[in-house]
Amino acid sequence: MKEEFRLGPEAYRNRVENLNSLKSGIKEKEEQISLLGAQIGGLISQEGYEVSKLNSLVKRIEEISRTITSKKSFSLAKEGEFGRFFDKIQDYALKENELRDELKKALDNSDSPRIKEIAEQLKKLERLNMTIKQEKYDPEITRELLGKYARNFRYIDGFIGGRAAVQLESGKWAFIDHNGERVSEEEYYRVNSYSEGKVAVQLAEDGKWVFIDHDGERVSEEEYYWVSSYSGGRAAVQLAEDGKWVFIDHDGERVSKEEYNRVNSYSEGKVAVQLESGKWAFIDHNGERVSEEEYNLVSSYSEGKVAVQLESVKWVFVDHNGERVSKEEYNWAYPYSEGKAEVQLENGKRAFIDHDGKVVSEEYNLVSSYSGGRAVVLLESGKWAFIDHDGERVSEEEYESASSYSEGKASVQLEKGKWAFIDHDGKVVSEEYNWTYPYSEGKARVLLENGKWASIDHNGEIIPFLSS
């Protein structure tokens, strides 16, 4: 339940490699589906084809589709969550770079007092672990707690929702407030981060989980084998080992009428649940079925619609009442973003549709969702380009690789392998770097020629690390 990592350049690089590996895996699976789709097309064009072969190919596609859905959800979650913390990670990575440079100088000068001082600072940095899946992270209080109390605990997590989890010398976990005071005397084997005023804690090693509030008080007497964090006033809990899932409210009261094999998270007041049949359906906040329809696979609601896979293995969109709103059926469909949704057409190409189901772009080999009024598309040439909401090319430039727009800029890989930022008109507005990451809160991470990472502002100026 709890995912941790040490801060610093090495951890930063490892994290990036893991995300890139995940994306490569998704792309490989999508290519497998395209090949299987072509095999199906060839099979059904033959007279008297074997139904068993068709069923086998369809089953294989379904299996791969499930894997892709899982990997994409995981990838999006990790990118979103990790993106919020990239700046802070980078700050500490930069600080570690500075300290190691200073340590080298101190060693060269045989400056023993300075060597000891720097070693202590590096040790202090290494004590900070941060939880990935967090809400309402307060970086300033996190730093303050680290500075004052790092020596008192094995680890101090980020300050989330008014509390920070700390690991004691015993190896167990507890919570402290912004003054460094223990919230209660209770100690736990594992903990999550606070969400909507509650946090899940594990009572004993390999034991059950319960929810506690901000004062460390049990929300209810119920104990669970597995839990998710609260979202939209609900938390999913597993009643028995390898058992079914239900939803509970903030009082710990069960609100779902049935038990489910698997569950997703709430989005726009609805959540997808897997039924006993293995099919998926949607329920509302009261646990009521949205409709009687059941689906092979589903995505999450976005902009009032959700993509669902029918028995025919085709995808369509349905609204909040479960009513089908798209006339066409697609090989694949993705959630709406900025009024457009990516769909895979019968010929295997990708295009964008609007809320009326009208195709509003050309067809491409691959595309990304709209962000900042632009979408990245893969051309026949194997290069990447950007299109606007009218489906028009933003510029004639083509790139080796490209990321989505964020805060008015996108990072692109140029022909010689370097990366740079472009504005909404496709004009290069930065220096060239060995690697870049999207802007967030006015800063972007870049890998410099000397192999060190830095944060730059929107003017391309390097932002110095400011110690607190």
Q: What pLDDT digit, counting tens, does each position of 21-76 carry?
A: 666 667 777 777 777 777 777 767 677 767 777 777 777 777 777 666 655 555 55
Structure confidence at residue 298 (pLDDT): 92
Q: How many domains does the chain have?
A: 2
Q: Is residue 310 a part of any domain in this protein?
A: no
Query: What pLDDT does residue 468 have?
Result: 35
Whether 444 has a pLDDT exceeding 90, the answer reads: no
Domain extent, residue 53, equals: 1-124
pLDDT for 194 beyond 80: yes
Strand arrangement of the beta sheet that strand 375-378 belongs to: 366-367, 375-378, 384-387
Mean pLDDT, residues 247-259 taken together: 90
| Residue 398 domain-assigned (yes or no) | yes
In tens, the pLDDT along 206-235 reads 789 999 998 899 988 889 988 988 888 899
Assigned domain for 325 exists: no
E strand segments, 161-253? 163-167, 173-176, 190-191, 199-202, 209-212, 226-227, 235-238, 245-248
pLDDT on residue 94: 53
Of the residues 90, 106, 124, the one at which a domain ends: 124
Q: By the 8 A CB rule, do 79 and 404 touch?
A: no
Per-residue pLDDT band at 116 (split at 50, 70, 90): low
Q: Measured between alpha carbons, how far is 333 from 352 in angstroms, rounded to an integer? A: 10
Sign of the alpha-carbon torsion through 361, 366, 370, 373: negative
Residue 53 lies in a domain: yes
Which helix (H) or strand (E) segment holds residue 447: the answer is strand 444-447
- Identify the CATH number of the domain in which residue 396 sits: 2.40.128
At 304, list the tokens: 């009032």
**Is the residue at 334 inside a domain?**
no
Q: What Å distances lie between residue 233 and 100, 195, 280, 282, 321, CA to CA?
A: 46, 10, 22, 17, 21
Structure tokens at 443: 């800063």
Higher pLDDT, 49 or 277: 277
Q: Residue 34 domain-assigned? A: yes
Domain boundary among the residues 77, 109, 124 is at 124
Distance, in Å, from the CA atom of 167 to the CA atom of 173, rounded to the nearest integer, reads 4
Across the range 305-317, mean pLDDT stands at 94
Reply yes or no on whether the pLDDT at 79 is more than 90. Answer: no
CA dist., res. 102 & res. 90, Å (int): 18
Q: Is residue 25 part of a domain?
A: yes
Highest-scoring range by mean pLDDT, 101-105, 150-154, 368-372: 368-372
Query: Rounded mean pLDDT of 274-297?
Result: 91
Query: Could you report the per-residue pLDDT of 86-108, keeping only the tens digit for each?
Result: 444 545 555 555 666 676 676 66
